[in-house]
Amino acid sequence: MRSVNPSTGDAIGADFPRSSRADLEALADTAFDAIDALADAPGAKIAGFLEDYAARLDSDRAGIAAIAHEETALPLSPRLSEVEFNRMTFQLRAAAECLRDESWREVARDEKNGLRSTLVPLGGAVVCFGPSNFPLAFNGVSGGDFCAAIAARNPVIAKAHPAQLNTTARLFAHACAARDGAGLPKAAVQCFYDCDADDGEALMTHAAVAALGFTGSRASGLRLKAVCDRFGKLSSLEMSSVNPVFVASAAGLERAEGIADAWAASVLLGGGQFCTKPGVIFVSGEAAAARIAERATQILRAAQPTVLLSEGIRTHLAQSLDALRGIGARLMCGGNQVGPGFRFEPTLCVLDAGKARANRSIALREAFGPLGLVIAIEGDAQLVDFARMLDGQLAATMVSDAADAATRDTLLSILRFKVGRLLDEAMPTGVTVSPAMVHGGPFPATGDMRFTAVGIPTAVKRFSKLLCLDRVR
Amino acid sequence: MRSVNPSTGDAIGADFPRSSRADLEALADTAFDAIDALADAPGAKIAGFLEDYAARLDSDRAGIAAIAHEETALPLSPRLSEVEFNRMTFQLRAAAECLRDESWREVARDEKNGLRSTLVPLGGAVVCFGPSNFPLAFNGVSGGDFCAAIAARNPVIAKAHPAQLNTTARLFAHACAARDGAGLPKAAVQCFYDCDADDGEALMTHAAVAALGFTGSRASGLRLKAVCDRFGKLSSLEMSSVNPVFVASAAGLERAEGIADAWAASVLLGGGQFCTKPGVIFVSGEAAAARIAERATQILRAAQPTVLLSEGIRTHLAQSLDALRGIGARLMCGGNQVGPGFRFEPTLCVLDAGKARANRSIALREAFGPLGLVIAIEGDAQLVDFARMLDGQLAATMVSDAADAATRDTLLSILRFKVGRLLDEAMPTGVTVSPAMVHGGPFPATGDMRFTAVGIPTAVKRFSKLLCLDRVR
């Protein structure tokens, strides 16, 4: 298996092997070796591994960023070589700090009764499936789930995303060097590049595998979730979200163009390939909706075609657009695949409230890429109804003026139960790494609304187990 | 449907209706009314409801305990009228305190980035299925899951256990009076008594239902879990555990009789109907195993037949014993159903290591009732192997002397990943309500090893959702 340069469609880099079911079983068997070693190592030793890993990455910044750029067509600078690179190394160092200060442990003591409870490692490996859209900061061998799994002292078995084989191999080489340098067992960090879907699912059932960290499509996520659920394995799944923006009537009339500017910029960010892309904007009032659609159309029409991360994403985007048009969405601009490589024109659609209401699952389906949908709503009462009908989301934004206060309060009281992160005015792209961040949300955005995938130490707790030592000497 | 007095086998008390699927749907529809009311009420108002509820229960202590005694045959005093009653009211008051001090919220602030994250209610009802064995302290309308769900400000829809219809109705009447007195909506606490299993599963899929709190059999738990998993509902499941005791060789030789005394007493406690009953004792060394079996046999033979909670439990116990004998367990005493009512003789079996190894799923299957199994192990190396093969458990106990230090350390390093609560010497029955308690453990003992069902505020977090307010005014 080889990677593809999405700017040209040409195969690039090394040829990577497909792991058989026996290969994956061997990886998992090996993971047994690292469970106790990681659980019992001095925190400073594992922290040292992460810090050395981060330093090795820093020293290969240009090389790594160049490969990631070639494989993803994401902008080299500042996106890959600075913003995402720094996020990756920041997370590794934050995980190291977490190992030193043990801030994830949640220790509770009851001396009178001889009880001490604390979070401990899982007693098994975490299988990390990284997504397509963050080759560094969410990569299975260097990203958020990797950091959280290691901070909680679990072995990691990472699967490279098929669009990032060479990037992953380069990162993994640094991870191995740092791991070996720190004297950790090889089984602490393992990686594979390709497998049959069935074999990946079988891996999750292995006795040495305790949990899954997955960021990707809803279809793949639900398939892996079903396996984990049946075998009682933990799973942290980030699956899909349209992160809707709700524009109340007064704000829409007052500030249509400014709202459109902010929204369109957020839709285009990262080529529309952020999990937090605000794919849908609900606008209360036909006039405001028309103005927002018109202005956003101008912006998207003026933007260059986006090179998408993979052919699969482009196919899915085209299918999503067809589905939208099939339920009566009007195409305002874009809509075409263009060459070379996997390019797609920035695309805007407008849909009436009635059609959106009748076809919610199509209107509110996540589609990666530079596609935005304006839904024109009759008024604030109907806007609120759309909030009520919403499935679980990572994020949602409320846009309101003083005259919209009642609508905004009602939206807030509904959306607090529908999303992991709720914003006033601000667009949801851009997820600060902070202990107060929540990158999570109700099903089907994620698998468990009690957790966040971003933010240390909170994210670490996903991959932990609660243990009480009861009168233990 | 009527309850049965397990001491006589006679139907007692009122006739309770079976709720249809439409009835359950109506309960769930109604629950919508309470979601915002509970989320937004002053904490003191909900706390006041719980405190008034506890006070009303206190004033009806003798009456409630008498009904519970008639329905369960558990000892009236001190078990029901004091120990379990006080635990029930203590938990209600601790939940009230948690509502006043908001200690479950896990607030994180990041002023620089305008972020504030906190746990919030689920935005839907918690369906609480109480178990058979704690008619008060784990009842769906008054027990641990009820307290946790209400403390996190969620409506509760409780299902009465079929063996506790009258007890539940009596408790529920007090809950309703306290709920109405506090001015909370009726939908804050609802209860039903009987339904088809299919309809109970369908209830979990309703949009107004967010989570399940279940304590009961593994078969029922797994069925409900599958529904919750498929529909993305949270579930807190406590399903089954044999809570094994591991006796290392030196301790077994030195203290066989004392160990047998402690173990047999723990097996008999509550008629052997505790989730934490140490149903299996692994003894390293044939001689020590024989002495422990002999002494425990004396104790169990001298004990009175136990009145079991229900005919179903007696049937399951008899089947479990047949299964043990089928894999070669030797019956040392007991083994018979006796009358009147649902009595069973205290029963002890001994099984060889080889047979246990070959038939682990039968040897280590939970069976409620006064049944203990001694497994005679060749030596400490094999003892450790049995720990390694163990499925997830609520608790396990290590019994060791100074000469056993290496074995004990190895057991600890294995069992920390296998159980929610690990004990040195002490038997696992008796679960202190403490913030440092863990009543949980890896699958299949529970559904999620990151949580505990006992201990406030930790247990409250099971029924919560994480929310970040991002630059929210």
Mean pLDDT of residues grouped by 10 in chain A (473 residues)?
A: 96 96 98 96 98 98 98 97 98 98 95 97 97 97 98 98 97 98 98 96 97 96 98 97 98 98 97 97 98 98 97 97 98 97 98 98 96 98 98 98 98 98 96 95 98 94 98 94
Q: How far apart are CA B131 and CA B218, in angstroms?
A: 12
Q: How far apart are CA A33 and CA A43, in angstroms?
A: 18
Among residues A214, A218, A216, A220, the alpha carbon closest in space to that of A197 is found at A220
pLDDT of residue B37: 97
B22: phi then psi, degrees, rounded to nearest 5: -65, -40
Q: How far apart are CA A394 and CA A454, in angstroms?
A: 12
For this complex, say whether ipTM is above 0.85.
yes
pLDDT of residue A245: 98
Q: In this complex, do A447 and B232 lie within 8 Å of one another by their Cβ atoms?
A: yes
pLDDT at B102 exceeding the cut of 90: yes
- DSSP for A359-382, written as a single string: THHHHT----SSEEEEEEESSHHH
Is the CB of residue A450 less than 8 Å from the CB of residue B465? yes
First to last CA, chain A: 53
pLDDT of residue B257: 98
**What's the whole-number mean pLDDT along residues B272-276?**
97
pLDDT of residue A430: 87
Query: Which residues in B lie closer than 8 A to residue A232 (C-beta atoms)?
Result: 392, 442-444, 447
pLDDT of residue A326: 98
pLDDT of residue B430: 87
Active-site position among B51, B70, B71, B238: B238
Query: Collapsing DSSP states into helix, strand and coil, what is residue A337?
Result: strand
Query: Collapsing DSSP states into helix, strand and coil, what is residue A149?
Result: helix
pLDDT of residue A29: 97
Alpha-carbon distance values, B437 to A105, A116, B46, B216 (Å): 15, 8, 25, 20
Structure tokens at B47: 């706390």
A74: phi then psi, degrees, rounded to nearest 5: -70, 150
* Complete domains list, chain B, with CATH: 3-239+446-470 (3.40.605.10), 245-424 (3.40.309.10)
pLDDT digits (tens, 9 = 90+) for B155-165: 999 999 999 99
Q: Is A366 a catalytic residue?
A: no
Query: Which residues in B lie closer than 8 A to residue A124 (C-beta atoms)?
Result: 417
**Pick among A394, A448, A470, A471 to test the B interface (most B CBs inside 10 A):** A470
Q: How far apart are CA A132 and CA A110, in angstroms?
A: 46
Q: Which helix (H) or strand (E) holds A454?
A: none
pLDDT at B250 exceeding the cut of 90: yes
Q: Which of A116, A434, A468 sits opposite B115 (nearest CB)?
A: A434
Q: Which helix (H) or strand (E) holds A212?
A: strand A209-215
pLDDT digits (tens, 9 = 90+) for B11-44: 999 999 999 999 999 999 999 999 999 999 999 9
Q: Which of A108, A440, A471 sits opposite B466 (nearest CB)?
A: A440
Q: In this complex, do A461 and B448 lie within 8 Å of one another by their Cβ atoms?
A: no
Chain A: residue whose CA lies nearest to B109: A436
Active-site position among A51, A70, A71, A238: A238
Q: How far apart are CA B211 and CA B149, in angstroms?
A: 9
Q: Is A238 a catalytic residue?
A: yes
